[in-house]
Amino acid sequence: MIQEVRVTVKDGIPDKKGEDVLYEINHALGIKNVEKVRTARVYRFEGIGKDDAAYLAEKLLAEDVFQFYRINGPVIEGAEVILEVAYKPGVMNPEAASLIKSAADLGISGLVAADSCWEYGFYGKEITGAEIERIVNSLLVNATVEYVVKNPPTTLIIHGTPGPTKIIPIREMSDEELIELSRDKLFLSLEEMKVIQNYFTGIQRDPTDCEIETIAQTWSEHCVHKTFKARLVVDGIEKKPLLKRLKDATEEISHPLVLSAFVDNSGVMEFYDGMAICGKVETHNSPSAIEPYGGAMTGSGGVFRDIVGTGQGAKVVASTDMFCFAPPHTPREHIPPGCLHPHYLLRRVVAGVRDYGNRMGIPTNNGSVHFHRDFRAKPSVIVGAYGILPAAGCRKGKPEAGDLVVALGGRTGRDGIHGATFSSGEMTDRTIEVNSSAVQIGHPIEEKRMFDAILAARDEGLIRAITDCGAGGFASAVGEMGSETGARIALDRAPLKYTGLSPWEILLSESQERMILAVAPEHVNRLFEICRGYNVEATVLGEFTGDHYFTATYEGRVVMNLDMEFLHNGLPQRLLKASWKRPCHAEPGEATTVNWSGLYSQVLSHLNVCSKEPIVRLYDHGVQGTNALPPFGGINGDGPNDAVILTPILGKPYGMIISHGLNPVLNTIDPYYGSLWAATEAASNAVACGANPNEMVLIDNFIWPFPDEELLGALDMAVDACVDFARATGMPFISGKDSLSSTYRGKDGTVIKIPPVLCISAFGRIPDVSRSVSTDFKETGSHIVLVGYRNPNEMAGSVYYEILGATGNNLPRINMRLLKKVLETVYGAINSGKLLACHDISEGGLAASLAEMCFGGDIGAAIRIPGDEKAENFFFNETAGCFLAEVPAVLNPAEIFGEVPYKVIGKTVPGRFITADQSGQPLFAVDLEELKEAWLKPMTEVFR
């Protein structure tokens, strides 16, 4: 018999979850008939009695101060509609294992299964059935992983019989049959399918489903980066592959601090006192598009595992998130079939990143959110992580023949299957239905325990090599680790979440919170002892063999036997053509500003400029106690800083600085200069806080529409920009990722391509965090200095132009000849203590940077606009690589900045106004309170 426990808040206590659902109903759906929503948590237990269930409710499930519970009865009463939403059978519920473990710890025996879900009660006399259906389908139930419970389950135990291993008769298939086999699941081209066909024809047998699936994930764009490794013919001239260009530039720079680049799960640079720091940034666009909460959670969890899987293991010290969405108030009729509304996507993606990082005790302290209507079909969800590890153990490990293959962490389920191949294909109106199993639900507490065990094992020298079970699961992790030796694993040894998984599903599952270790046999018992101490499951799956084959068995029968050479080097190199044609965008008409106060407020309230503080405050950015420069600072703690600085070695002054840059709009105008802008913004953000540009490294993330010839031409230009930036500044790229599938195709012929996104992340070291500055103005009477080269007439892609209803063509062109000197000069001024504050210029231009510095310092500013410049261009030009610096009144700016372009444009003043004059004539006086209200309003309305 199943015992049910329902828990809800007591009368008079706000139901926060219910309030959030009501907010979404009112704002995202526009439904006003629902007056109130109440929620309850429903727990089910199989194998125990009512008394034990009550004991669990009292001791574990309900907090008597503000909650009450009921056993086998309702707690929501009087509602017009009550419904229950649960994970589908087979979708991993992170709470289930914790419930079982907690019950055992409380001395309750006999519990065989547990589950949890949510119950919702809707109040309002005019609610219609159609409105409830909209609420369910749009907000409460993601059909990929959830369902409405019509009848309570009679058992919580999932029964199943594994399907047989199938033989795929690929040798006899026609071209049409090969294409059909690949569609929706494998995402391989006909040429690639024929290579596989020829391979098996040559060895005179047909593949098993395990083999064909393993080849597909290994050859997926997500895993092998086929486009970035392809031969590329650009306008008739063959150029080096994209990835080789980036690697060659890094090798040419030969930066003395780089310890590992492009060979491990993250890039590594030298830190201090024998330690190293590492960074990796990933995307989780496809899963987040169909299940934003789970997709974002597993994005964070996956990139955390990349850090822990670096060298012999690193500690994660920071998390970052960079998002691109359509505006949250996009009309519903503009959202194509099979896609979720951006208001819902934004809130749920943020919740996913919040819950994973917060629950693991990892600070999320650097990020940004960008908006453009062409993200309405597929968002870009970028997550990063950074870590610290001993420099002596930072090199990628290699297993030796005879080492054991050890699986560590969570159990294997059906969630996440086809994640690698699914993420490599375009999105369609069928994606949610066809690829629902590609979505996973993360379990951060499981991952936290696993990380602690791994770091303990690392410190005892027990790990030869390590990697995570990311895209492709065991197939990817073991296949890649054993590529030079060979490996043999027994799939029936893998711990499962439930019965019924076929061998190929066990092999390919991307269930989260799992790692693979290569461990010498003499160390395995000690490793297992450590794992037991941290309540982490560990299993020997097999061994690395030395025969150069990847072999898998199930119940003693061989279900896969692939030549490692073919698996990893049999993929044919693509030959791709690229050609980019410059688009012509509309130019704005002549505009004379009459209401400067209104224009200034309009710029600050633009979604790409406004404060993201309501999002940041959802993250615990201070956990681990390492924040030397937090995301927000100033007198009232609401002035945004440009980067984050951590002190990862407690008690030491050493700083780790993290920043990033991206601007999708500019790439739609010119992908070369738009990409230079992104790299410059990343570097400028760090330098503005006190980073030495000569002690920084870079990470690239390309998120592109499916690359046709023109978009491949744009990608070629973006990579060239990265290479040119690295060579000009001496900042090498040491890690990166590409995601080239952000195109939507509807059955009615609709095609939506995202603006090409290049996100550049930067991280580096600072010897003493006391030699850093924040953005907030510190005192009145200081000089306000504009530093750096810019052409004020280069306004295309700016927020100001968008307000005028145009994009333009003359975008900011970074002067690479001057940039390095500007960065070094600003760094030198900060390092020598000559600047009180510094803020780089980006979206919103000088106007936005100036306002944010005033907000943080609670100080006004008086600005003088040069007589030969158009006032609007002066304030709203968005050239990256420029800075606003606060210089004490007693210092001469010419002695600080004399060798680089600079202008003294005003001074800080008492009061709460920004004033401007030009040629001796007053232009405006804007109240800071008015500006701040406009700046705070957009995200406050979404994250109230």
Say which residue, 338 or 144, is predicted with more confidence. 338
Domain range enclosing 18: 2-148
Nearest to 315 by CA among 326, 304, 331, 327: 304
pLDDT at 439: 60
Mean pLDDT throughout 249-271? 97
CATH number at residue 30: 3.30.1280.10
Residue 169 has pLDDT above 60, yes or no: yes
Tokens describing residue 812: 């900011």
Nearest to 292 by CA among 321, 331, 332: 321
pLDDT at 440: 65
Q: Which of 419-428, 471-480, 781-790, 844-853 has the lowest mean pLDDT?
A: 419-428
Sheet holding 837-840, edge to edge: 837-840, 883-887, 783-787, 902-909, 860-865, 913-918, 921-927
Residue 421 lies in a domain: no
Q: Which of 496-510, 855-869, 924-938 has the lowest mean pLDDT?
A: 496-510
Rounded Cα–Cα distance for residues 629 and 639 (Å)? 12
pLDDT at 428: 46
User: What are the φ and ψ backbone dihedral angles of 468, each rounded to 5 degrees?
Assistant: -100, 160
Which residues define the annotated binding site for ATP? 280, 700, 736
User: What are the φ and ψ backbone dihedral angles of 322, each rounded to 5 degrees?
Assistant: -130, 120
From residue 516, give the alpha-carbon distance in Å to each of 26, 267, 306: 46, 19, 12
Q: What is the pLDDT of residues 228-244, one digit of tens each?
A: 999 999 999 999 999 99
Q: What is the pLDDT of residues 504-521, one digit of tens each?
A: 999 999 888 999 999 999
DSSP class of residue 546? Answer: S
* Alpha carbons within 13 A on the beta-carbon side of 246: 25
Rounded Cα–Cα distance for residues 91 and 509 (Å)? 12
pLDDT at 433: 43
pLDDT at 782: 98
Which residues define the annotated binding site for substrate? 305, 440, 510-512, 739
Rounded Cα–Cα distance for residues 812 and 877 (Å)? 8
Rounded Cα–Cα distance for residues 908 and 889 (Å)? 10
Residue 432 has pLDDT above 60, yes or no: no
Rounded Cα–Cα distance for residues 561 and 544 (Å)? 14
User: What are the φ and ψ backbone dihedral angles of 855, each rounded to 5 degrees?
Assistant: -55, -50
pLDDT at 309: 97
The one catalytic residue among 222, 225, 372, 621: 222
Rounded Cα–Cα distance for residues 686 and 659 (Å)? 6
pLDDT at 420: 42
C-alpha gyration radius of the chain:
28
From residue 2, give the alpha-carbon distance in Å to each of 48, 96, 550: 8, 14, 44
Residue 169 lies in a domain: no
pLDDT at 212: 95
Tokens describing residue 161: 């019989």
Q: Residue 294 in contact with residue 439, Cβ under 8 Å? A: yes
Q: Given the DSSP bridges, would you call strands 696-703 and 380-390 parallel, antiparallel or unpaired?
A: unpaired
User: What are the φ and ψ backbone dihedral angles of 871, each rounded to 5 degrees?
Assistant: -60, -45
Mean pLDDT throughout 836-861? 98
Mean pLDDT throughout 286-292? 84
3-state secondary structure of 892: coil
Residue 765 lies in a domain: no
Q: What is the pLDDT of residues 686-723, one digit of tens each?
A: 999 999 999 999 999 999 999 999 999 999 999 999 99
Tokens describing residue 650: 């407690």
The dihedral formed by the CA atoms of 395, 320, 731 and 852, expressed in degrees to the nearest 10: -160
Residue 892: count of CB within 10 angstroms of its CB: 11
Q: Which DSSP string do the residues of 571-616 spell out, in sequence order?
A: SPPPEEEE------PPPPPP---S-HHHHHHHHHTSTTTS--HHHH
Angle between helices 444-459 and 94-105 (to 10 degrees): 70
Compute the residue count for the chain: 944
Rounded Cα–Cα distance for residues 667 and 678 (Å)? 10
Mean pLDDT throughout 738-765? 94
Say which residue, 101 or 50, is predicted with more confidence. 50
Residue 435 has pLDDT above 60, yes or no: no
Mean pLDDT throughout 137-152? 86
Which residues define the annotated binding site for Mg(2+)? 282, 306, 468
Residue 430 lies in a domain: no
Residue 73 has pLDDT above 50, yes or no: yes
Q: What is the pLDDT of residues 519-578, one digit of tens each?
A: 999 999 999 999 999 999 999 999 999 999 999 999 999 999 999 999 999 999 999 999
Residue 431 has pLDDT above 60, yes or no: no
Mean pLDDT throughout 585-606? 95
Q: Residue 657 in contact with residue 644, Cβ under 8 Å? A: yes
The dihedral formed by the CA atoms of 906, 907, 911 and 913, expressed in degrees to the nearest 10: 20
Tokens describing residue 87: 């994970």
pLDDT at 416: 63
Contacts of 940 (CB under 8 A, 6+ apart): 614
State the chain's mean pLDDT as an integer: 94
Residue 88 lies in a domain: yes
Residue 652 has pLDDT above 50, yes or no: yes
Residue 95 lies in a domain: yes
Residue 260 has pLDDT above 70, yes or no: yes
Residue 438 has pLDDT above 70, yes or no: no
Rounded Cα–Cα distance for residues 884 and 847 (Å)? 10
pLDDT at 423: 43
Q: Residue 734 in contact with residue 268, Cβ under 8 Å? A: yes
pLDDT at 727: 98
Q: Residue 9 in contact with residue 67, Cβ under 8 Å? A: yes
Residue 109 lies in a domain: yes
What's the per-residue H, E or C state across 394-408? CCCCCCCCCCEEEEE
Residue 8 lies in a domain: yes
Give me the helices (H) in 652-732, please: 664-669, 671-687, 709-729
Q: What angle do CA 44, 49, 53 make, to 5 degrees?
A: 50
Mean pLDDT throughout 14-18? 95
Contacts of 894 (CB under 8 A, 6+ apart): none
The dihedral formed by the CA atoms of 89, 91, 96 and 101, expressed in degrees to the nearest 10: 120
At 91, the amino acid letter reads: V
Whether 284 is catalytic is: yes
Burial class of residue 673 (count of CB atoms within 10 Å of its CB; 0-12, 13-18, 19+): buried
Whether 27 is catalytic is: no
Give me the helices (H) in 165-279, please: 175-182, 190-202, 209-218, 221-224, 226-229, 242-253
From residue 938, give the alpha-carbon distance in Å to each of 60, 352, 802: 39, 21, 17
**How many domains, the chain?**
1
pLDDT at 402: 97
The one catalytic residue among 27, 159, 255, 284: 284
Residue 920 has pLDDT above 70, yes or no: yes
Which residues define the annotated binding site? 280, 282, 305-306, 440, 468, 510-512, 700, 736, 739
Percent of the chain with pLDDT over 90: 85
Rounded Cα–Cα distance for residues 489 and 126 (Å)? 60
